Amino acid sequence: MSQVPTPHIGAPEGAFAPTVLMPGDPLRAKFIAERFLDEPQLVTSVRGMLGYTGVYRGVPLSVMGSGMGCPSMGIYSYELFHFYQVENIIRIGSAGAIHPDLKLRDIVAGLAVCTDSHYSDQFGLPGTFAPAASYTLLERAVTAAREQNVELVVGSLLCSDKFYDDAAGLETWRRVGTLAVEMESAALYANAARAGKRALALCTISDRPLEGESLPSEERERSFTQMMRIALEAAIKR
């Protein structure tokens, strides 16, 4: 059992709210904290992985970067769930579209996750672990999106260990209806399941790798803001 502060999160006991929003990018965490939270306090910056706690519509809420990939998400979400009493983590990431109907800036929710990651091998299960979202958080996000008149596409994500991939096989994943590729949801869902906690991955489509399209950086903020608002409202629903 690790003590707080943990090796990777330099924050004291009680530094995090029960719900944490987690973008991959720590600077996106800073943006959300400064733009949406009242009285945001920087609670950790170990390795530059910024984490903040503040208040959203009267409810304590935290936001912290996860870094890129399952190993990084695995470390931070484990420490948050097990040592900082965090109950809910909502990832707010970017993703590459696999499904042909998805457009740049669309927002997807990962009901289930297909993966090439071996993160959940550690459980030693006599079969295949199926990473899945918390239905409670998913329902709250779907409701929040509906209230905001924003379409939220719900389905399966591909969580890959590779951004640059010699044999990505995205066309093959397209055949089985996979929505989009990102890199952290499998570890997040596995850690939540093992800890008996809740997790959800929301992603904004930033690329269409099969079509060679990519969202210009100056346009990313607006569509990411839409996803942030869905996550923020979902986080405070009861």
Ligand X SMILES: O=P(O)(O)O[C@H]1O[C@H](CO)[C@@H](O)[C@H]1O
Ligand Y SMILES: O=c1cc[nH]c(=O)[nH]1
Active site residues: 207
66 carries a ligand binding annotation: no
Residue appearing with tokens 């042909």: 100
Residue 95 interacts with ligand Y (CB under 6 A): yes or no = yes
Residue 181 interacts with ligand Y (CB under 6 A): yes or no = yes
In the list ligand X, ligand Y, none, the entry touching 96 (Cβ below 5 to 8 angstroms by class) is: ligand Y
Q: Please say which residue, 5 or 70, places its beta carbon nearer to ligand X.
A: 70
Q: Please say which residue, 5 or 96, places its beta carbon nearer to ligand Y.
A: 96
| CB of residue 186 to ligand X, shortest distance in Å | 11
Q: 165: which residues sit within 8 A by CB, 6+ positions away?
A: none
| Three-state DSSP string of the chain | CCCCCCCCCCCCCCCCCCEEEECCCHHHHHHHHHHHCEEEEEEECHHHCCEEEEEECCEEEEEECCCCCHHHHHHHHHHHHHHCCCCEEEEEEEEEECCCCCCCCCEEEEEEEEECCCHHHHHCCCCCCCCECCHHHHHHHHHHHHHCCCCEEEEEEEECCCCCCCCCCHHHHHHCCCCEEECCHHHHHHHHHHHCCEEEEEEEEEEECCCCEECCHHHHHHHHHHHHHHHHHHHHCC
Backbone angles phi, psi at 137, to 5 degrees: -70, -40
Residue 117 interacts with ligand X (CB under 6 A): yes or no = no
Residue 94 interacts with ligand X (CB under 6 A): yes or no = yes
Residue 23 interacts with ligand X (CB under 6 A): yes or no = yes
Q: Are 168 and 160 in contact (CB under 8 A)?
A: yes
Residue 230 interacts with ligand X (CB under 6 A): yes or no = no
Residue 96 interacts with ligand Y (CB under 6 A): yes or no = yes
120 carries a ligand binding annotation: no
Please, which of residues 120-159 interact with ligand X by CB under 6 A? Answer: none
69 carries a ligand binding annotation: no
Stretch that binds ligand X, among 116-124, 131-139, 145-153, 178-186 (CB under 6 A): 178-186
68 carries a ligand binding annotation: no
Q: Please say which residue, 134 or 204, places its beta carbon nearer to ligand X.
A: 204
Please, which of residues 189-218 interact with ligand Y by CB under 6 A? Answer: 206-207, 209
Instruction: Report the binding-site residues.
Output: 8, 24, 28, 47, 91-94, 182-184, 206-207
User: Which residue numbers belong to the known binding site for phosphate?
Assistant: 24, 28, 47, 91-94
Summarize as ranges the residues that interact with ligand X (CB under 6 A): 23-25, 68, 93-94, 163, 182-184
Binding residues for a purine D-ribonucleoside: 8, 182-184, 206-207
